[in-house]
Structure 1
Amino acid sequence: MKLVTRAAWGARAYRRPNGATTYSRARRGVKLHYLGTTYTDRTHDRCDDYVRQIQAQHMDGNGWSDIGYSFVVCTHGYVYEGRGLKRRNSANGSTSLNEQDYAVLLMVGSAGLTKPTDAQLHGARDAIEHCREEGPAGDWLGGHKDGYATTCPGAVVYAWVKKGAPRPGGKPVEPKPGTGRPVVDLSQLLAAAKTDPPKKGTPVSYAGVKVVEDALVQEGLLAKSLADGHFGTATKAAYGLWQMRCGWRGEDADGLPGLASLTKLGKRRGFNVTA
């Protein structure tokens, strides 16, 4: 995730005590928002100016204690920290709704630029997953209009939300089943990664490879045509990208699955892991 901290984008200090109010319980999920006004795209060096403009409108125009959103995502895929993971947002319409879900804004409007860029959708997906993994937030996902009388987040963003907010090029994110989740054995997966032949049509050594490949496809890291059950060069490269997305670098992102990275992938994509 390309996170821009409050200090990095030049946020004003929030007002106390209201701006320091923390969530009193875990969040149900995440709500997506749009600007609701005309928006014109800009070069990335001007995006922080706009985030500061939003904060000024919220604090000086609305009388709020800070920018209202938990996070803001620009068209270049950068995620700007608003109130963040701990402080209660003020964008969802009421205190109870703000308490219930995080608020993530995509910098698109009701006119002008209305369709998010692929980079922005990746950034928004990063923000959603950040809220789920670090928040904590549950799997529920919706728009501002869910539970509040508004057109926000607009038809384009809301349609993406209702598909499960998939990454561009990947499958829609399916709800995680309550039972019957596939189980991937790490030791067998590693063995397959070291022995599976690269040619299509030849027998695979472990069926769990396809489960992992499908997850990488959903993450937008592996082409669907290459998810053939073989942990070959393409799958290894895709898994290395996944490891880097998790924060590993160098030898720790060599494309060979480890317990931590595989468990994280399974948590997001509906399978369990055994070592």
Structure 2
Amino acid sequence: MRFPFLPCLALLLPLWAHAAEPLNSVERAIVPVSAWGGTPADASKARRHAITRITLHHQGEPFKPGTDPQAYLRRLQSWSRASKGWLDIPYHYVIDLDGRMYEARHIDYAGDTNTDYDPSGHALIEVVGNFEEVEPNQAQLDAVVELMAMLAAKYKVSLDDIRSHRDHSDNTVCPGANLYRYVKEDYFRHKVALRLAGEQARSR
């Protein structure tokens, strides 16, 4: 891993710890399935797993400003079940254009994929938009960091295991070149490391 900022980390911790909300507030901010009008998955058909990785995806389709993210989630849930025969939305969390985080598939249930990797053990995050065509906005990037940090802390996921869909499958460009750049250049790992260090400083 490349973490050139680490020698300066101690200097940044007091400011970061003061400015950031506790990580448990991130989990409380996630919009639950019931709030966006979804229905629970059939637990008897679920493939249960333990989280060991965090994997980033994009929607892969345009998401225009003004699109209702809750209506999108309801359509995605219906399509996933009726057309694909999946248990539920393939991802565990979805992030909209404003950086709001939504619960999708229950985190205890392994996800689904159209590609050739086994998503068991992966906490799957989708960011709306097609990042082969557009750039992620700062609200989305910030939300990805917060959600990844919360998941890393809760499930003891190492920084090395924060990756993207295309890192696990050769037959996809997901999460799109413009979002993958932040994975490849270790932006998310750097920011998550700072966030976790700040949380540790807060708890001392």
TM-score bin (small chain): 0.7 to 0.9
Unaligned runs of 5+ in 1: 167-171, 177-214, 220-260, 268-272
For 1:108 and 1:40, locate their aligned partners in 2 and report how far apart those are by CA, in whole Å.
Answer: 8
Which of the two has greater strand per residue?
A: 1
1:5/1:99 CA distance change after superposition, 3 Å: same
Provide Cα deviations, 1:14-62, integer angstroms capped at 9, x if missing partner: 13433x3321x441x211111122332226xx21111112112211111
Unaligned runs of 5+ in 2: 1-25
1:262/1:33 CA distance change after superposition, 3 Å: closer
What secondary structure is seen at the aligned counterpart in 1 of 2:101? strand
Between Structure 1 and Structure 2, whose CA radius of gyration is higher? 1
Which of the two has greater helix per residue?
A: 2
Give the partner amino acid of 2:126: L
> Which of 65, 77, 80 does residue 41 from structure 1 map onto?
65
> Which of 132, 142, 154 does residue 122 from structure 1 map onto?
142
Provide Cα deviations, 1:218-246, integer angstroms capped at 9, x if missing partner: x5xxxxxxxxxxxxxxxxxxxxxxxxxxx
1:152/1:126 CA distance change after superposition, 3 Å: same
For 1:92 and 1:102, locate their aligned partners in 2 and report how far apart those are by CA, in whole Å.
Answer: 16
Task: Determine the structure 1 residue equivalent to 2:80.
Answer: 58
Task: Determine the structure 2 residue equivalent to 1:153.
Answer: 175
For 1:10 and 1:22, locate their aligned partners in 2 and report how far apart those are by CA, in whole Å.
Answer: 24
Task: Determine the structure 1 residue equivalent to 2:42.
Answer: 15
Identity of aligned residues (%): 21
Aligned length: 175
Q: 1:124 offset after TM fit, Å? A: 1.3
Task: Determine the structure 2 residue equivalent to 1:4.
Answer: 31
For 2:103 and 2:121, locate their aligned partners in 1 and report how far apart those are by CA, in whole Å.
Answer: 19
1:262/1:72 CA distance change after superposition, 3 Å: closer
> Which of 109, 130, 133 does residue 130 from structure 2 map onto?
109
1:1-275 alignment runs, 5 A limit: 1=26, 2-18=29-45, 20-23=46-49, 25-27=50-52, 29-42=53-66, 46-91=68-113, 93=115, 97-110=118-131, 114-139=134-159, 140-148=161-169, 149-166=171-188, 173=190, 215=194, 264-266=199-201
**C-alpha RMSD of the superposition:** 2.9
Q: 1:100 offset after TM fit, Å? A: 3.2
Does the aligned pair in 2 maintain the 1:10–1:52 contact within 8 Å? yes
For 1:129 and 1:98, locate their aligned partners in 2 and report how far apart those are by CA, in whole Å.
Answer: 19
Provide Cα deviations, 1:64-95, integer angstroms capped at 9, x if missing partner: 0111101100011111011243221224845x
For 1:130 and 1:74, locate their aligned partners in 2 and report how far apart those are by CA, in whole Å.
Answer: 18
Q: 1:174 offset after TM fit, Å? A: 7.5
Instruction: Give the TM-score of the pair, scaled to structure 1.
Output: 0.56
